[in-house]
Amino acid sequence: MTKPQSQFQQQVARLHQLTVYLRWVLVLFSWLTLGTYALWNLKEEIAIIFNYFTWAAVYYGLHFNFVPTLSLSFCIATTLSVLIWQSRNIIWGLPAKEKRQLEKQVKKIRASGVKHPLWKWINS
């Protein structure tokens, strides 16, 4: 009985590892697309801020470039949320609710069998 249970827990851990990887891929993708776009469009304001830093320059640089500001805010927010989420999981462990959801997903993957796209991932 302990052997299948430990294998099940390994599969849950693999699925959690996959969610961590996918969250960081989302962060990387957002920085490579939206972050690059935002920084490129804010390059003149950034140059002015580097030469003559004032809070007014920061305010007007961000206030009058609405779309780049939203893009940059999204990138910063996703990065911080993933950092905080992962830090919480490292320090205090997975919450019971998340662990139950992962276990439920692993059971669905096991029930689907080889047909499920994540079958190879959790069984490797």
Question: How many CA atoms are closer than 13 Å to the CA of 108, on its beta-carbon side?
Answer: 10
The radius of gyration of the chain's CA atoms, rounded to the nearest angstrom, is 21
Its pTM stands at 0.86
Q: Report the pLDDT averaged over residues 33-46.
A: 97
pLDDT digits (tens, 9 = 90+) for 40-92: 999 999 999 999 999 999 999 999 999 999 999 999 999 999 999 999 999 99
Euclidean distance between CA atoms 29 and 23, whole angstroms: 10
Length of the chain, in residues: 124
User: What confidence category does residue 119 fall into, taking pLDDT thresholds of 50, 70 and 90?
Assistant: very high
